[in-house]
């Protein structure tokens, strides 16, 4: 890797970092607006035009709040918890292909920070580490509600990761690769994986909701029974980190879903337009973000529609519903490819 | 066991049917409801920018009227204070001195006239009781305050401005029908 490549990657990394944070920031605004609209309200509209400065005000408020570390808490772990949640949430973005290739001064750069040949596994690893943030935070708080929330989060994540992994196995059977870049380029045109793996997509989507702790799976932080779940004892920006990590996770999982099932930065009829490479990449990235935002909207739409599951219902659905379904999906996909490859 | 009311229902513990168990139809139904609300017209009125239209005869903050020559109409007879069911009105009368004819219409006037807006129930009885057509309720809203004391409105707030252009319009409440009604001396409060 030479210097220009390194410089480009560094700049690109910083851009992704900033974009992720900004999108997550405005997801909080979007969430409040969507919630308000679905409840026939107006939503935040006082800070700035259409309330667009609301996220800044919220962030400022978080910084201004008093920082409390409970006396009985394990101080180091108490601080490490939100840090892990935030870090792992941000780390996933590096393997996602944000666009095609662009040429700057005759050199060609790919709009993906790291094209790992095991991209999907990397995403999974990061998501799995993410649960440690919640676990450690909940445990270090030394509070029964926080601990209960953490336990719920852990068991929920483990249960749904199984089904999620199995739906991915079926996808890998279809694509034949684990690299996200490869998966996206295979979906060129309208060969989106959702048409080949509708059931897999369905399972993956449900699991994505569970993995990001979004409603109807927000049991770890259900305020009616657990006060605030794992972040009961947190205040100030450490609480802000937890809440923010949730929105980053939502953004990243939307990006992963768009990459895996909706063709990533591909858009239909792009080849027929006869545009230059940079333009195509630009439009593709725009289209990719459009897909991501639609997914985020779906996340919010579901959150403000459905009530929370009961814990036994959650476990029932994970173990007795989704895992057999995902297994069936693998077998069906396997059989299909076994017989079609034979011919 | 004997039922106390007829409203009790047996709780059923039936098994979910397959369609219920897969949740999807119910979820889609719910999502269609929320998306309809998403695009529906919002009923909220963004208050300071957008004001709700009041009834023409809305009973809000009071005004003490001046006559055409800018003289205060109130003669401090105290009928409004007597009529007030909430005992919100207090006044102290004073005698007009020579040279003040351009300020007060009658020989007697209210040196102090206070309405406690926290006591007032905006019934409009003071307006009915007034024989001089001096006090009226208007469609203005009493502003909120942080303390109790500022809610006791004195003459500085209640009396309308001297400038003819800044006079408070009470024509909606002072219609001909009202004037006619007030002229009937048969009714006790018109005497």
Q: How far is A315 from chain B (nearest CA, A)?
A: 14
Return all residues near A28 (Cβ < 8 A) that are at least 6 apart: A55, A58, A243, A244, A247
In angstroms and rounded to an integer, the radius of gyration of the C-alpha atoms of chain A is 21
Select the residue of A42, A305, A321 nearest B42 (Cβ to Cβ). Answer: A42
Give the whole-angstrom CA distance, residue B90 versus residue B112: 8
CA B128, B129, B133, B137 torsion-angle sign: negative
Give A-chain residues touching B25 at CB under 8 angstroms: none
- Say what the pLDDT of residue B146 is: 93
Q: Does A304 touch chain B (CB under 8 A)?
A: yes
Rounded to whole angstroms, how far apart are CA atoms A130 and A253?
13
Tokens of A142: 């030394």
**How far is A125 from A256, CA to CA, in rounded Å?**
14
Question: Cβ separation of A304 and B31 shorter than 8 Å?
Answer: no
Q: What is the mean pLDDT of chain A?
A: 84
User: What confidence score (pLDDT) does residue A342 get?
Assistant: 58
Q: What is the pLDDT of residue A68?
A: 83
How would residue B119 be classed by pLDDT, with cut points 50, 70 and 90?
Answer: very high
H-type alpha helices, chain A: 3-38, 54-64, 75-91, 119-140, 144-175, 180-186, 193-196, 198-211, 223-226, 236-261, 277-303, 311-315, 323-342
Distance from CA of A194 to the nearest CA of B (A): 18
Overall average pLDDT of the A199-206 stretch: 88
List the single residue in A304, A317, A321 with the smallest CB-CB distance to B34.
A304
Q: Which of B27, B39, B42 sits opposite A306 (nearest CB)?
A: B27
- Give the separation between CA A198 and CA A205, rounded to whole angstroms: 10
Domain enclosing residue B106, as ranges? 62-190
pLDDT of A139 reads 87
B41 in a structural domain: no
- Using CA atoms, how far apart are residues B72 and B17, in angstroms rounded to an integer? 79
- State mean pLDDT over B163-171: 81
Smallest CA–CA separation between B13 and chain A, in Å?
Answer: 15
Mean pLDDT throughout B86-99? 90
Q: What is the CB-side half-sphere exposure of residue B33 using CA atoms within 13 A?
A: 9
Q: Which of A34, A40, A45 sits opposite B43 (nearest CB)?
A: A40
Distance from CA of A41 to the nearest CA of B (A): 6
Q: What is the tally of structural domains in chain B?
A: 1
Mean pLDDT of A188-211: 84
Residue A104 parent element (H or E) = strand A101-104
A305·B31 Cβ contact <8 A = yes
Residue A143 CA to residue A156 CA, distance in Å, equals: 20
Residues of B in contact with A301 (CB under 8 A): 31, 34-35, 38
Q: In the A/B pair of chains, how many CB contacts fall below 8 A?
A: 37
Q: Is B11 domain-assigned?
A: no
Contact A37 B44 (CB under 8 A): no
In a domain? residue B103: yes
Q: A38 contacts in B (CB within 8 Å)?
A: 34-35, 37-38
Query: Are the beta carbons of A238 and A246 closer than 8 angstroms?
Result: no
Is a pLDDT exceeding 60 seen at residue A343?
no
> Scanning every residue of chain B, which has its alpha carbon at the shortest distance from the alpha carbon of A325?
B22
pLDDT, one tens digit per residue, over A229-287 is 778 888 888 888 888 888 888 898 898 888 888 887 877 776 777 777 778 888 888 88
Asked if residue A309 lies in contact with residue A321, where contact means CB atoms within 8 angstroms, the answer is no
Does residue B131 lie in a domain region? yes
Task: Give me the sign of the Cα torsion angle A187, A260, A30, A239.
Answer: negative
Mean per-residue pLDDT for A150-177?
86
> pLDDT value at position A128?
83
What pLDDT, on the 0 to 100 scale, is given for residue B190? 60
d(CA A16, CA A6): 15
CA-wise closest residue to A211 among A254, A270, A268, A241: A254
- Whether residue B37 and residue A38 make contact (CB cut-off 8 A), yes or no, is yes
Closest CA to A26 of A46, A48, A47, A56: A56
Phi/psi for A119 (5° steps) reads: -50, -45
> CA angle, corner B31, sides to B30 and B33, nearest 5?
65
pLDDT score for B121:
92
Q: Is residue B79 part of a domain?
A: yes
Complete DSSP assignment for A309-341? PPHHHHHIIIIIIIHHHHHHHHHHHHHHHHHHH
ipTM of the assembly?
A: 0.75
Q: Judge whether residue B31 has pLDDT over 60.
A: yes
**Chain A: residue nearest B32 by CA?**
A305
More confident call, B110 vs A116? B110
- Among B31, B42, B46, whose Cβ lies nearest the Cβ of A301? B31
**Residue A111 predicted with pLDDT over 80:** no
Which chain B residue lies closest to A309 (C-alpha atoms)?
A: B23
Which residues make beta-bridge pairs with B46? none
Q: If you average pLDDT over residues A299-306, what whole number do you get?
A: 88
Which of B24, B38, B43, B50 is most worth mutating to test chain A (most A CB atoms within 10 A of its CB)?
A: B38
Mean pLDDT of the region B136-165: 88
Best residue in A34, A36, A38 for a mutation probing chain B (most B CBs within 10 Å): A38
A3 Cα to chain B: minimum distance (Å): 50
Among A117, A114, A200, A215, residue whose Cα is nearest residue A165 = A200
Check CB contact of A4 with chain B, cutoff 8 Å. Answer: no
Three-state secondary structure readout of chain B: CCCCCCCCCCCCCCCCCHHHHCCHHHHHHHHHHHHHHHHCCCCCCCCCCCCCCCCCCCCCCEEECECCCCCECCCCCCHHHHHCCCCCEEEEEEECCCCCCCCECCCEEEEEEEEECCCCCCCCHHHHHCCCCCEEECCCCCCCCCCCHHHEECHHHHECCCCHHHCCCCCCCCCHHHHHHHHCCCCHHHC
By the CB < 8 Å criterion, does A40 face chain B? Answer: yes
Looking at the domain assignment, is residue B54 inside a domain? Answer: no
Q: Which residues of B touch A (CB under 8 A)?
A: 22-23, 27, 30-31, 33-35, 37-40, 42-44, 46
CATH number for the domain that contains residue B171? 3.30.70.3270
Mean pLDDT of chain B: 85
**What's the rounded Cα separation, in Å, for the pair A94 and A114?**
6
Residues 6 or more apart whose Cβ sits within 8 Å of residue A95:
A112, A113, A114, A115, A116, A119, A122, A123, A180
């Amino acid at each position: 890797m030479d210097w220009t490549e390194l410089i480009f990657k560094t700049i690109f990394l910083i851009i992704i970092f900033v974009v992720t944070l900004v999108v997550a920031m405005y997801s909080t605004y979007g969430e409040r607006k969507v919630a308000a609209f679905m409840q026939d309200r107006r939503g935040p509209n006082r800070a700035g035009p259409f309330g667009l400065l609301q996220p800044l005000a919220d962030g400022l408020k978080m910084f201004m709040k008093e920082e409390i570390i409970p006396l009985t808490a394990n101080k180091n772990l108490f601080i490490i918890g939100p840090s892990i949640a935030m870090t792992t949430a941000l780390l996933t973005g590096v393997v996602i292909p944000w666009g095609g290739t662009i040429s700057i001064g005759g050199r060609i750069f790919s709009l993906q920070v790291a094209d790992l040949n095991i991209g999907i596994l990397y995403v999974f690893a990061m998501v799995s580490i993410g649960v440690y943030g919640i676990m450690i935070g909940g445990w270090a708080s030394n509070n029964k509600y926080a601990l209960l929330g953490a336990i719920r989060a852990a068991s929920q994540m483990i249960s749904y990761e199984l089904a999620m992994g199995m739906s991915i196995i079926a996808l890998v059977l279809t694509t034949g690769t684990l690299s996200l870049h490869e998966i996206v380029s295979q979906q060129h045109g309208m060969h989106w994986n959702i048409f080949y793996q509708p059931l897999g997509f369905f399972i993956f989507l449900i699991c994505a909701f569970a993995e990001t702790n979004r409603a109807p799976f927000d049991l770890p932080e259900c305020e009616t029974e657990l006060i605030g779940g794992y972040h009961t004892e947190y205040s100030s920006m450490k609480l802000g980190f937890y809440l923010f990590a949730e929105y980053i996770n939502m953004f990243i999982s939307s990006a992963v879903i768009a990459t895996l099932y909706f063709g990533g930065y591909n858009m239909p009829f792009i080849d027929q337009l006869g545009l230059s490479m940079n333009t195509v990449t630009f439009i593709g990235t725009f289209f990719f973000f459009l897909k991501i935002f639609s997914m985020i909207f779906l996340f919010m739409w579901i959150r403000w529609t459905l009530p929370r599951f009961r814990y036994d219902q959650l476990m029932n659905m994970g173990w007795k519903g989704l895992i057999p379904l995902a297994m069936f999906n693998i077998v069906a996909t396997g059989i299909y490819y076994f017989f079609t490859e034979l011919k | 066991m004997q039922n106390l009311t007829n409203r009790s229902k047996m709780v059923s513990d039936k098994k979910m049917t397959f369609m219920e168990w897969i949740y999807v139809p119910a979820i889609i139904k719910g999502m269609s409801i929320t998306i309809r609300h998403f695009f529906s017209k919002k009923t909220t009125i963004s208050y300071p920018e957008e004001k709700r239209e009041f009834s023409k005869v809305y009973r809000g903050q009071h005004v003490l009227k001046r006559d055409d020559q800018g003289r205060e109409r109130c003669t401090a007879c105290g009928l409004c204070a007597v009529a007030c069911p909430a005992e919100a009105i207090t006044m102290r009368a004073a005698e007009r001195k020579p040279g003040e004819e351009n300020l007060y219409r009658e020989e007697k006037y209210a040196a102090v006239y206070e309405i406690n807006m926290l006591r007032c129930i905006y019934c409009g009885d003071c307006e009915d009781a007034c024989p001089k057509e001096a006090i009226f309720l208007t469609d203005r809203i009493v502003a909120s305050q942080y303390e109790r004391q500022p809610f006791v409105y004195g003459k500085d707030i209640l009396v309308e401005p001297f400038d003819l252009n800044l006079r408070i319009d009470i024509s909606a409440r002072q219609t001909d029908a009202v004037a006619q009604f007030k002229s009937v001396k048969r009714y006790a409060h018109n005497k």
